[in-house]
Structure 1
Amino acid sequence: MKSVQVFAPATVANVVCGYDILGFAVDAPGDEVTMRLTSTPGIRISKITGDDGRLPLDPAKNTVSASVQHYLNALGQPSLGIDIELHKKMPIGSGLGSSSASTVAGLFAINTLLDNPLTTMDLVPFAMKGEELACGHGHADNVAPALLGGFVLIRSYEPLDIIKLPFPEDMCVAIVYPEVDVPTRDARQIIRSKVQLKDAVTQWGNVAGLVSGLFMKDYALIGRSMVDVLVEPARSILIPDFYQLRELALAQGGIGFGISGSGPSVFALTKDPETAKRITNTLQQHLQKIGIRSLSFVSSVNQQGPVVIG
């Protein structure tokens, strides 16, 4: 195989109470990478579309090429000739794992071109290198679900221990992206570095409740566990009318509501696509009233992760 085209899904990281340790993949949106083996040594990014010129073509500065280079170094083929086209199909800086989707698509593509010498799980550390370049912190709550599909728990970072979680098969997600700027680095900087023990206990209980709810497929337990007393209070101030949006989403039948990743996208879990569509319509109407444009997505939980599409 000399060329391959790969789609990788967007993700919802944190899932409210699971800061840096929980995430899930969605069917839409996502990013695409076309990759070719070439006779010229080294990695070249020949084209990027859908980014309005915001992403670097320099292979050392782009998350896709940088993570692929780490992969090639590990396999002892650092000078392999690679041509990359990146096609952004989702908004940058949306809190939906834009950089991780691109990175995952690139890693899955190179692994496919080389006849899959590594497992998909083995690719996670290389994808984390891309996240480190993108936002200064090599977390896995976006890249792991983008690679593995479904809901993912990062039990430990040192050593890395990633667990796929079950979830209700009919679960859907409503996502609304208010078109305001919330850079990931800035969103991380406003988080408290120290927390009170009572708040930590509350958070531990909610994380345990959410994981238990997913295993038991208990929507009521999932919903009442989606409470964050550590990170959301700080990050919510960056999202216009966040608490009004939450009230509207829950009133329209949402199971739980929160910030996707570092924001500004918000999401609600639902039992069916009709409810999810009703929620996105309601939230977009509210944002329009306060003069904010938005995009929306209604999706099932993606169970496949990246796929070859050409």
Structure 2
Amino acid sequence: MNKRIKIFAPATVANLSCGFDVLGCCLDTVGDEMVISLHEDPGVKITKIEGADLPLETHKNVAGVAVEALLKKYDQPPGVDIEIYKKIKAGSGIGSSAASSAGAVWAVNHLLGNPFSPQDLVAFAMEGEKLASGNAHADNVAPALLGGFTLVRSYTPLDVIKLYTPEDLMMTVIHPQIEVKTSDSRSVIKTNITLKDGIRQWGNVGGLVAGLYTEDYGLIGRSLEDVIIEPLRSILIPEFNAVKEAAMSKGALGCGISGSGPSIFALSKGTETANHVATAIREVYDTTGLAFDIHVSKINDQGVKIIDS
């Protein structure tokens, strides 16, 4: 048994303001590359990592842990070698750990002849997320695996739904070169909310889903509101309010924290608006003295992609 595949494992934007831990979408222009090989010698090995200082030990690496979870459910598991070429910076808020976890399980499943369903793969990849942050959340790994926008309707039992993606939607993301660990970002969140805030928040989730399916861009924009998490997490991100104001002034439908931060996303209709938003938020961050990256991307409706086989 000698099988090999090279894949693109996409970055993702989770939460989408109103959907903490349940909503996410997949990006197209930024992601990791991975080479996965199957062989007869048992065991999972991380043989190479470029672009980041991450552990090669299988039990300490999110890709290794996710693949081990898959192989536990497979009769006569093969050996797996994993090469990781990181293009998504750790702690960026655009799904670095999710890309590695999702990409690895997708590639192994493909090489085995797809014995597992997408829902199964989400569950396996969540084990990598658990290692990374202490919480087995699916809002990044689900869109990385399924593509487009996804909704985690339930965690127990796991029920993930791929949503409709309007073709004109574009994402602009700014990543300040500071690290906000998911575990630290979660520590500022309150465990109790008011009923008033809950009603407003789940109304926005329903509105966003409805807006996607009806291609009602005004409704999408009105629904990209977070009254629970953003007020607490935004204080960890330099110039968050200024970036949000600049993005909205250039026609963005909505703007918020990508995942746990520090990246900030802006969703727009059309490439022209997305590029205007990128220019505006670049001007904000040019005054800070902080290094940053900006990504402009359409929504990737496929998810993980094969580069070479």
Query: Which residue pairs with 2:131 in the alignment?
Result: 133
Q: What are the ranges of 5 or more consecutive residues in structure 1 without an aligned counterpart?
A: none
CA contact 1:67–1:129 (8 Å) conserved in 2: yes
Secondary structure of residue in 1 paired with 2:60: coil
CA contact 1:6–1:108 (8 Å) conserved in 2: no
Does 1:4 pair with 2:5? yes
Q: Distance in 1 between matches of 2:129 and 2:89?
A: 16
Query: Which residue pairs with 1:307 in the alignment?
Result: 305
- Displacement, 1:205? 1.2
Does 1:146 pair with 2:119? no
Q: Distance in 2 between matches of 1:162 and 1:38?
A: 32
Q: Distance in 1 between matches of 2:85 and 2:268?
A: 30
- Displacement, 1:76? 2.9
- Displacement, 1:197? 0.9
| Matching residue within 159, 168, 193 for 1:161 | 159
Counting aligned pairs with the same residue, the percent is 50
Q: Distance in 2 between matches of 1:240 and 1:111?
A: 40
Query: Which residue pairs with 2:58 in the alignment?
Result: 59
TM-score by length of 2: 0.97
Counterpart of 2:17 in structure 1: which amino acid? V
**What are the within-5 Å matches in structure 2 for residues 1-310 of structure 1?**
2-51=3-52, 53=53, 55-78=54-77, 80-310=78-308
Counterpart of 1:75 in structure 2: which amino acid? Y
CA contact 1:172–1:298 (8 Å) conserved in 2: yes
Counterpart of 2:63 in structure 1: which amino acid? V
- Displacement, 1:64? 0.3
Q: 1:84-132, CA deviations, whole angstroms, 9 ceiling, x for partnerless residues?
A: 1011111111100110111111111111221111122321100111110
Q: Distance in 2 between matches of 1:122 and 1:182?
A: 29
Secondary structure of residue in 1 paired with 2:83: strand
CA contact 1:121–1:147 (8 Å) conserved in 2: no
CA contact 1:173–1:270 (8 Å) conserved in 2: yes
Q: What are the ranges of 5 or more consecutive residues in structure 2 without an aligned counterpart?
A: none
Secondary structure of residue in 1 paired with 2:233: helix
- Displacement, 1:257? 0.4
Q: Distance in 1 between matches of 2:206 and 2:95?
A: 24
**Bigger shift: 126-135 or 163-172?**
163-172
Secondary structure of residue in 1 paired with 2:203: helix
Q: Distance in 1 between matches of 2:40 and 2:166?
A: 47
Q: CA RMSD in A?
A: 1.1
Secondary structure of residue in 1 paired with 2:59: coil
CA contact 1:153–1:165 (8 Å) conserved in 2: yes
- Displacement, 1:271? 1.0
CA contact 2:165–2:301 (8 Å) conserved in 1: no
Q: Distance in 2 between matches of 1:288 and 1:181?
A: 18
Question: What is the number of equivalent residue pairs in this alignment?
Answer: 307
**Bigger shift: 294-303 or 118-127?**
118-127
Q: Distance in 2 between matches of 1:81 and 1:161?
A: 30
TM-score by length of 1: 0.96
